[in-house]
Amino acid sequence: MRIVPIGLLYWRDEALARDYARRSSRATHPSPLCLEMCEMWTGAIATIMAESTRAPKPSAKRFSKLDLLHYISSFPYKTITLRDALAIPSRIRPAPEDDVDREAWYWQHHPLLRLIADTQRPGTVSTKTKGFAYTIPPVKQLPSTGYVLDSAVAALYCFFATSTFEDGALLAVNLGDDADTVGAIFAGLAACWYSAEEGDGDRVFWTTRVKSWCEDLVRRDIIDTVAKDLAAMEYEFNL
């Protein structure tokens, strides 16, 4: 959850960002799984940044969550457990070209979307909170421990199962177990995604509740200073 600044700073050079993410992980979490997860996650952040800052073209399609899932699914995983959790099985036929068919293909074959479909459809055995549109999956189906695979998959589940920062964050921190870790991992990715939603910022990111969370932060001045310094570093690095 500490690697988001790497993607924000070096997003113009994805290969460099991914290398720095691996080096950052190696200092405290040197297992191959952690190294690869940090590399993929930083690559995803860099991709979001690149796509959200690209000059729009009239005929170009908007970069979607399905496109981001394609990046995650197509990453060249060497760790079997990561590949099994985040990629389409190699035995499955290639995705169709048509956008509608392609989305249906992902819902049918991608393990994460299949889990979302199984746990969010009406009648599923999940915890339902009054006033909240989403259900909390059973721990057997979506563990949210501090183990990197569990926490990262849980964060991705919350991101792809919801359509606003607020809903995803609420789902993440109510999964239980190591919920603060899952929430932090989700928030880093989701903030990069939703903050780039032009014209929809008040609806998908800066909702009234999210604004109140921001206002209630302890030592917000430190966070603001670090964020401004990071933005200045990114600007200077790319001069």
Q: Which residue has the tokens 């310094």?
A: 229
CA–CA gap between residue 189 and residue 71 (Å, rounded)? 14
89 CB-contact burial (10 Å; exposed 0-12 / middle 13-18 / buried 19+): exposed
Structure token digits, residue 68: 């981001």
Cα 6–chain centre separation: 15
Quick one: DSSP state of residue 60?
A: P
CA–CA gap between residue 167 and residue 219 (Å, rounded)? 25
Angle at 119 between CA 113 and CA 124, to 5 degrees: 150
CA–CA gap between residue 13 and residue 47 (Å, rounded)? 10
Any binding-site annotation on 178? yes
Any binding-site annotation on 202? no
* Four-residue CA torsion sign, 19, 47, 90, 88: positive
Any binding-site annotation on 181? yes
Q: Which helix (H) or strand (E) holds 91?
A: none
Residues making up the annotated binding site for Mg(2+) are 178, 180-181
